[in-house]
Structures are given as C-alpha cells and as structure tokens.
Structure 1
Amino acid sequence: MSSNRGVVFRGKGEVAVEAIDFPELALGRRSCQHGVILRVVTTNICGSDQHMVRGRTTAPTGMVLGHEITGEVIECGRDVEFIKVGDIVSVPFNVACGRCRNCKRGDTHICLHVNDDRPGGAYGYVDMGGWVGGQAEYVMVPYADFQLLVFPDKEQAMEKILDLTMLSDIFPTGFHGCVTAGVGPGSTVYIAGAGPVGLAAAASAQLLGAACVIVGDMIPERLKQAKSFGCETIDLRQDATMSELIESVLGVPEVDCAVDAVGFEANCHGHNHGQEAPATVLNAAMEIVQAGGRVGIPGLYVTEDPGATSEDAKQGNLSMKFGLGWAKAMSFHTGQTPAMRYHRQLMQAILYDKVAIGKAVNVQTISLDEAPDGYAAFDDGAAKKFVIDPHGQIA
C-alpha cells in the first residue's frame, strides 16, 4: 500500500505531520464507489482550523486537519461517470450528497446525509461528520460527480493554482458574506476582520461593484494588506466609537451593509482592545449599518467553546444588542457557506483575470513539513494565507 502523511491535531496549541492511512474508496465498512482519491496539489490553513488548534472547540486529538483541498484525481470509483483520472479539481469544503432535499435546493452546507449529529459535513473539522481532512498527501472525496469542480485546462490551472486553491473555501465564503449582506454596485460596506476570509470578502465586494470597502482590524500588517488592493482601513485599537470610525472615512456614520469575518473569537476595539468579547462585531454591525440593512456572517460561531471567558459563551450564548437590530429592521445571514453555489463563477473570474484573489490574501506557499510553523505564524497574526504544497509541485 502507498504511504501518506497528514497534519494531525495533537491537543491545544500542537499539530504534527505524521504518517496516516492511505485513503480508500470506503465509508467505514461500506464501499464508496461514487468517490475518488486525490493526490493533493494544494491544501490551505484556515482560520477555522486555528480555532480547533487553539483549543476553542471540542475537537478530539488525532484528527487529520484540513478542509481547503485542490487535487489531481488518481483513482475513480466504479460509479463515477463524469470525473476522470488526471483531472485537476477543486473540492468544496462542504461534504454534500447531492440527493437530499437541502442539496437539491442548493443548500449543500446543510446536507442531511453526511453527518449523523446535525446537518452539514466538512473535511477534517470538529462535529462535521468525522471526514478525514485534506492537509495531507492524498485524500478521498465522496459524491465526486456532484461535488467536484474540474478545471478546464490543466496547464492553465497550474499557472493560476495559487488563486484557484482559494475556491475550496475562503473565496466563496467571502463572496457569500457579501452577497448575503446585499453588496452591489455603489455600496458602502464594512468588513470586520482582515484575516484571509476578511480579505477575500473585501476582494469580493470590489468584484460585486462596491463603491467603498472599509476593512477594520487591530493588526497593522493585515490592514496594510487590505490597503494594498484599494480598501479603506480603520485601526480598531483607536479609542473611538464605531460610528466615529466609519464617519472618519465616509463623512457619515453608517454603511449600507457589513460582513462579519471574525466570528466568536472577537476582541473589543478601542482602549479595551485585546479583551475578548464574542458578540462585539455583531453589536458593532448593528450600530453602523443603515436601518433596513443586512449583515452577512461568514465568521464562525460555535455551540461549544471550552476556552471562552464566560460560562454563557462556553455554551455559545452571546450577549447581543438584538433589540437594536430589531428596531432598525436589520437582516442577519448566518451559517457556513454553500461553496458550490459560487465556485464555478468565481473560477471564471480568476481564469479571465477579473480578480487576483491570491494576491489579495497574500499567499505564501509552504511544504507539508512546514505546516506546524505555518500554524504558529498564522496564530501570531501573520498577514498571509498559508498554502501547503505537499508534493513540491508549485515551486
């Protein structure tokens, strides 16, 4: 049997590259003839992975991490009709069957057949069905005909792989945040967070025609990265209200819409910056978004957070100014992103040079053995998106 290695969660603050099982076309003891085995071309480190590594979820030790996967098909199950060996494909981070009522209406992020505990599955993630992660040399992907996005030209795909690798998660996620927030031509939009998802959301807002994209963060290097592709920025360490900070850019204290790309590990802004307050981004959005406006929330919120600073937050209960949102007739859109809803269109935008998403999120390629260092640098706030190249194909 061929060998395989992957990035394994070893407890709070620790990941290791270890030998893992080579994937088989099987689901437990059942054959999985609708699946394929991929030789991983790229696999990315995500902020969602970082939540687990920080000990902020109930992820078990020994889990193989990674849900942002691009690969080359090396084996197809008997029932795969339209994918062939040699195809370069993007894998949506949502595991989805394509057959349940949710998948049939396009809600692949809440598939009913891939997780025994609740709707929705994902590779290498806590409480998402136990699917083996793709921060590895090889991985098995089920429901291949339904899920996989085949790149039309292999040579072109490899030339643009550092952009195309973002199609598995953060580009559709940032785009979904903007779409659900109502970003459109002429919009003014506030993006909370200049991590990779926030930067992807900012690039998406520009692609959707926003007039002004404002990105807020507390890390100067990340704000510099947002500014590098035309965003306005606000340093949230400043001791001012959110309305005042928005007014300093726009001349008025409100935006048309907002995107929360931070999630539950948010910190206070102003003189309390660095103090955790998991609902602070949601409360800020209610303050600065116009009456009748919308907030897209691709940032992760969890049902259990063992590392939270309060007992309520440990159970996912947040102290929100929901009355303000109700009084302003605002809409909030939550949940994971149905990546398949957007990935083909965003692929086309990349291939036709309408967006340089890899440049926007500041890609840095690393080897599989360098993954633990990548996790550590990301945890320290590096203004980079770490892309793992398991087989040394990119360099």
Structure 2
Amino acid sequence: MLAVVYKENSQVKVEEVEDPKLESPTDCVIRVTSAGICGSDLHMYEGRTASKAGQVFGHENMGVVEQVGPGVRSIKKGDRVVLPFNIACGTCFDCVRGRTEACLVANPEAPHAGYGYAGMGPYRGGQAELLRVPWADYNCLKIPGQPGDELEDDFLLLSDVFPTAYHGTELANVRPGATVAVFGAGPVGLLAGYCALLRGASEVYVVDSVPERLAKVKEMGAIPIDFTKGDPVKQIIDLRRGNPLIMGALRAGEEKAMGVMCGIDAVGYQSRDIKGADAHGGREKPTQVLEQLVELVNPTGSIGVIGVYMAPDPGAPDENAKQGIYPLPWAKVFDKGITVGTGQTPVKRYNHFLRDLIIAGRARPSMIVSHRLPLQDAPDAYKKFDARKDGYTKVILKPQLSPKARA
C-alpha cells in the first residue's frame, strides 16, 4: 500500500510499505477514506520529537472496515468508522474511568498510545491506504452514510480536533454566558472557539496572526485578535472596557475583573514571542501563551491547556526547554485562584455525542477545512501547512483519490 513516510527533518515521502495484517483476534483493518494532517504532525515533521525515519504518519483516520478478527463482535466488514487518535484497550484502570488518553495497556513504554506518533507506541499511522485498528470493538465509532458524502469531513474531525477542542472548553469550564479567550487559531483553536459558542459563551476572542485564520474566526462569529497589532491581553481588555453595556453592568470593584473567565491554550510549546513576530513567523518563546493567559484570566477563572508540550524537544530554544522545563508565573496563578487543566484528550468521552450533533445538523466542524488532496500531494501539503501560507488551515488527505500507479 501507499503511505506517508517520515524521512528526515521537513521531509516526508509517499512510498510503498507493507500492507497491515490482523495481529490479534480483536483487530480490524480499514481502508482509509480520509486522513487529516494535524498541527501535532508538524512537531514530528520539523524534527521536534523523537520520531525516527520510516514512521508512517497519521492519527486522524476514518474509513471502511475491510477485515475483522474472530474476536470482533460489534463491528463488521463494510461498516464505516472513525477512530479516536488515542488507542485504548477499554478495560484497564484508566480506560474504565473514561481516561482513554492514558491507557495503561496499549503502549508498553508509556501511559498513552496512538496511531503514527512519536512516543505513542508501535502503531503505524493512517495517512495511508490501509490501517490496522487494535481492540476494534472499543476503538471504532460507527458512523452513518457512505464514503465521500457531504458529512465525510465532519465525521473525520471526530478523530481528534473536534473532541480536543471540546475538551479545551471542558478544562476551561466554559458555561453559558462565559467570557472566553482562545490563543491559537489553528484547527484546534478555531474549533475551540466554535465549541465555546456551541456551549453558549457570551464573548469568544481568538488570538492569532495569520490573516486566513483570523478571517475564519470572524466568519464563525467570534472576535479575532491579531497579536501583531499589539499585546493581545491589552486588546481584549480594551475591547471589553470599550463596551458600554459591559461597563454599565459592573458593581463597584468588579472593574478588577475586566479579563475573561475562561482561557484556552491551543498553541503549546511552539508559541512565538509577540515582540517582532509577523503573520507567519517569529522567535519562539514556549511560555508566551501561558504567561498571557495567566495575565488575562480573571481571579477564580480557569485555563485549559490543549496545546502540546513535549519532551525531549531537540529544537527548543534553550537547554531547559529541550527537557520540557519552563519558568511560569505560578505565584500569580495561586494568587488569582486560577484552575488549570491539561493533557491529551480522552476522545471517546466526547465523540459519540459530538457525532450526534453532526448528524442532527447542529455542528459542522468541517468549516475549518481548507484543502482536500490526494495522498501523493502530502509532501507539498506538509510544506505549505508548516509555512502557514496559501490558506492552508486544515488539510485532509483522500487516499482513494490517489492514482493506482505506485511511487
């Protein structure tokens, strides 16, 4: 089969690799119809992880079941399924508590597992024509319709970015009427703002610098904040102070809480120093977003951290950052009584009801998708997505569009 294979820093190729096989009675094999390129894939692409040459990328996967093992009961050949990026056994201590992002069985080296990702076990990714799925009954989410229909892209986003965005709003305690600031308008950040609106937030600010992303923020009904135009914390506070209805509702003393109650970090360890940054680049400052959120979030507010922080990071700007060690303003966090939630998303906690929002027409997360490309276009797509240029907001690879000729 053809697959997207990591070769070296900033280089992937589409190559012929061995077809997957059933390795356990509880496995299935799917023919992939859609596979997303995630912002997290760029960490590996840029050499910022321990990923090794030969890794098949792709943790955002959906397709049609081709084979099932004799132990599979609820999934059959021909079923259309989407897969959480977390691979989980379904029966360990963490899985039975709904913490499938921390399965203790699936990865022999760490308390989490996933498809095609550094440090997440011996599993190939799904940016390929075929994919083996362990514990198929537990990990496959059945979806209606036919491959390539009008909901294909919406359903694919149930694999990662839609549940991850929703998880960010859970960690940040977004409730009806909440004030929310999301830092980062990549796919997850855009959908975090979208999920905050779905949950009834009264104000949603989304901070970024890429014009196409900021235009998408405005299109979905949130308030874009361009950090190249000045300190985003000050911009948001000034906007709130400039609203006479907000100011007219304050009692004496409440002017001390002119920030927001809920903050979401959708950037992670590759955040950029706002000093000198432009729309497409700038010096890295891993703590930039966290520092700004601690400043912006009101006393007793909450911060949800869904942007990736990872160690080791060979490309980090200093020796501490290479080991995932960052100086943070914890005294201010304590003084303000801010709640901080972090970690990978337990996709299975959310994907059933998010699927049903899509089926009911209440959610259309595919509004963030910018490009739908055949598998052989992956090298160019990675390059352009990494450069944040040419409108590359969210890319979905369609293996079935690939020509039959082999690379």
Give the TM bin, normalised by the shorter chain.
over 0.9
Is 1:70 the counterpart of 2:62? The answer is yes
Distance 1:272 1:140 in 2: 42
- Rounded to whole Å, the distance in 1 between the matches of 2:189 and 2:124 is 27
Aligned to 2:245: none
Give yes or no for contact 2:369–2:396 (8 Å, CA) kept in 1: no
Tell whether the 8 Å contact from 1:87 to 1:154 is kept in structure 2 after alignment. no
Which position in structure 2 is the counterpart of 1:29? Answer: none
CA offsets, 1:263-311, max 9 Å, x none? 0000012446612110111111110001111111111000211001101
Aligned mates of 2:16, 2:76 — CA distance in 1? 27
The aligned runs of 1:277-356 (5 Å cut-off) are 277-356=285-364
Report the equivalent of 1:174.
165
Which residue does the alignment assign to 1:185? 176
CA RMSD of aligned residues (A): 1.4
In structure 1, how many angstroms separate the alpha carbons of the residues matched to 2:376 and 2:399?
Answer: 8
Q: Does 1:21 align with 2:29?
A: no
Structure 1 residue runs without a partner (length 5+): 27-31
Work out the CA distance in 2 between the residues paired with 1:225 and 1:376: 21
Flag the 1:133–1:272 CA change in 2: closer, same or farther, 3 A: closer
Which of residues 34, 39, 45 is equivalent to 2:26?
Answer: 34
User: Aligned partners of 2:109, 2:158: CA distance in 1, in Å?
Assistant: 27
Q: How far, CA to CA, are the matches of 1:182 and 1:137 in structure 2?
A: 39
**1:47 CA displacement:** 0.6
Q: Deviations over 1:25-54 (max 9, x none)?
A: 11xxxxx11010000010000011001001
Q: What does residue range 21-100 of structure 1 map to in structure 2 within 5 Å?
A: 21-26=18-23, 32-100=24-92
Partner of 2:132: 140
Alignment gaps of 5+ in structure 2: 242-256, 403-407
Correspondences of 1:191-206 after superposition (within 5 Å)? 191-206=182-197
Distance in 1, matches of 2:379 and 2:291, equals 34
Residue 224 of structure 2 is aligned to residue 215 of structure 1: no
Provide the residue aligned with 2:251 in structure 1: none
Q: 1:392 aligned to 2:395?
A: no
8 Å CA contact 1:238, 1:270 repeated in 2: no
Tell me the secondary structure at the aligned position of residue 264 of structure 2: strand
Match 1:5 to one of 2, 6, 14 = 2
Task: Give, in angstroms, the shift of residue 249 of structure 1.
Answer: 2.6
Count of residue pairs brought into register by the alignment: 382
Could you tell me whether the CA contact under 8 Å between 2:183 and 2:266 is conserved in 1? yes
How far did residue 237 of structure 1 move?
Answer: 1.0
Residue 238 of structure 1 deviates from its aligned partner by: 2.2
CA distance in 1, matches of 2:87, 2:221: 35
Could you tell me how far apart the structure 1 residues matched to 2:360 and 2:146 are? 15
> SS of 1:366's equivalent?
strand
From 255, 276, 296, give the equivalent of 2:260. 255
**Alpha-carbon distance in 1 for matches of 2:392, 2:86:** 26
Deviation at 1:373, TM superposition (A): 1.1
- Please tell me the residue identity of whatever aligns with 2:12: V
Name the amino acid aligned to 2:401. G
Separation of aligned partners in 1, 2:192 and 2:134: 29
Secondary structure at the residue paired with 1:179?
Answer: helix
Q: Distance in 1 between matches of 2:374 and 2:147?
A: 22
* Pairing 1:359-374 to 2, within 5 Å after superposition: 359=367, 361-374=368-381
Return the letter of the residue paired with 2:210: I
Contact 2:63–2:147 (8 Å) recurs in 1: no
Could you give the per-residue CA deviations for residues 192-237 of structure 1, whole angstroms, max 9, x where no partner exists? Answer: 0010010111111111111111000021221111111111011111
The CA distance in 2 between the partners of 1:292 and 1:74, in whole Å, is 51
- TM-score, with structure 2 as normaliser: 0.91
Contact kept in structure 2, 1:238 and 1:271, CA below 8 Å: no
